[in-house]
Amino acid sequence: MKLGVPKETLAGERRVALVPDTVAKLVKEGHAVVVEPGAGVAAGFTDEAYRTAGASLGDPWAAEVVCKVQKPSQAEAGKLRDGAALVGLFQAATNPDLMQQLAGRRVTTFSLERLPRITRAQSMDVLSSQASAAGYKAVLLAAETVPKFFPMLVTAAGTLSPARVLVLGAGVAGLQAIATARRLGAIVSGFDVRAAVKEQVESLGAKFLAMEEQVQAEGAGGYAKELSADQHQRELEFLARNVKDADVVITTAAIPGKRAPVLVTRAAVEAMRPGSVIVDLAAETGGNCELTQAGTPVVHQGVTILGPVNLPATLPLHASQMYARNVATFLAHIVKDGKLQLDFADEITKATCVTHDGKVLTS
């Protein structure tokens, strides 16, 4: 099968859907890979590296399956051949016009953020691999911004106490943030409404913060579910008491298909010490902090609130390597004997396929 790899055109996007190592494996399996010139340069992968891996350089949009990171523009979608397949992160539920355009060209579209969290899909889970990059980078941003060292230091000028880091949400991004902050020497606490993650938080050397009345908020697939109004109010009050003592707060909480829950209110921010830092990884879906502005740093009463967007793209080499492995595994699931073979009884295929046979399949 002919696979195409375009250069990403979204502002700030430096990742590439397939890297040379993955291309070499796909070519060995019998696929032909066409890479747009310069597609991997921003991630550290030269055109020559792709040639060496067995790819050709040319127009990727004529391929049978086009692999991307971000959703295509309207113009890019128009370049796809009728009946082609498209694989990437397209946020299908919030881009209905794009889905209609792709369906109109009879494109079979796979939106990988919809992968179910089941054992068979773990090696395809692009959200988890990219969240790991985001959690790591969030701590580095915090360490760069907070006006103190992370580790305890004993110096000739006296002993400096370590930074106190609070991580809200113990999914993949949160656990990576906890691990990274611990490596940098901070005193770390973690909070999550899912009691099941307590052991994971503690295994990384952090303290798990548990509410006096623990709520049960684990939904389908291991994700957090939305709390009732009363539960959420108790959660806010509990978090406010802990946020005020933190030098750094990193928030990662998300609810699939919904706005990110507000966990840090304006009042909680105003109770923090000047110089404290909040890094809100949920900025793109509304933010976990009431004052977050996506992509724009905010300073409120001496507290800096960062709402970074697309953090994995700031670590493009490793993020691309992980993403490419996920995509290659997914391709092996949907391509058999050089042809696209779809089994809609399979939960992975059913969940990810959002346009097919001229129809939009998103619910």
pLDDT, tens digit (0-9, with 9 covering 90-100), for 71-129: 999 999 999 999 999 999 998 888 999 999 999 999 999 999 999 989 999 999 999 99
Residue 201, SS3 per DSSP: helix
Of 277, 293, 313, the residue at which a domain comes to its end is 313
**Catalytic residue from among 114, 125, 130, 323:** 125
The pLDDT, as a whole number, for residue 218 is: 53
- 117 assigned to active site: yes
> Which of these is catalytic: 14, 50, 111, 128?
128
Q: Is residue 38 part of a domain?
A: yes
Quick check: pTM over 0.85?
yes
In a domain, 91, yes or no: yes
**Res 232: pLDDT:** 85
Q: What is the CATH number of the domain that holds 43?
A: 3.40.50.720
For residues 313 and 12, is the Cβ–Cβ distance under 8 A?
Answer: yes
Which tokens go with 241? 């008491």
Question: Is 176 an annotated catalytic residue?
Answer: no
- State whether 82 and 147 are in the same domain: no
Same domain, 304 and 325: no
Which residue among the candidates 101, 106, 223, 346 is catalytic per the annotation? 223
Q: Are residues 100 and 155 in the same domain?
A: no
183 flagged as catalytic: no
- Residues 199, 348, single domain; the answer is no
Residue 108 sits in the same domain as residue 191: no
**Considering 56, 73, 100, 122, which one is annotated as catalytic?**
122
Structural domain of 91: 2-114+319-360
Position 125 in a domain = no
Look at the chain and report how many structural domains it folds into. Answer: 2
Beta strands in the chain (DSSP E): 2-5, 32-35, 56-57, 65-67, 85-88, 108-111, 153-155, 158-160, 164-168, 187-191, 207-209, 248-251, 277-280, 298-300, 303-306, 335-336, 339-340, 353-356, 359-360
Q: Is 136 within a domain?
A: yes
CA–CA gap between residue 149 and residue 147 (Å, rounded): 7
Shared domain for 303 and 328, answered yes or no, is no
Residue 126 lies in a domain: no
Catalytic residue (choose from 51, 81, 106, 117): 117
> What residues form DSSP beta bridges with 248?
165, 277
Give pLDDT < 70 ranges for the chain.
213-227, 363
Q: Any catalytic annotation for residue 223?
A: yes
Amino acid, single-letter form, for residue 173: A
Burial zone of 258 (CB within 10 Å; 0-12 exposed, 13-18 middle, 19+ buried): exposed
φ and ψ at 131, to 5 degrees? -65, -35
Query: Residues 29, 145: one domain?
Result: no
pLDDT at 170: 96
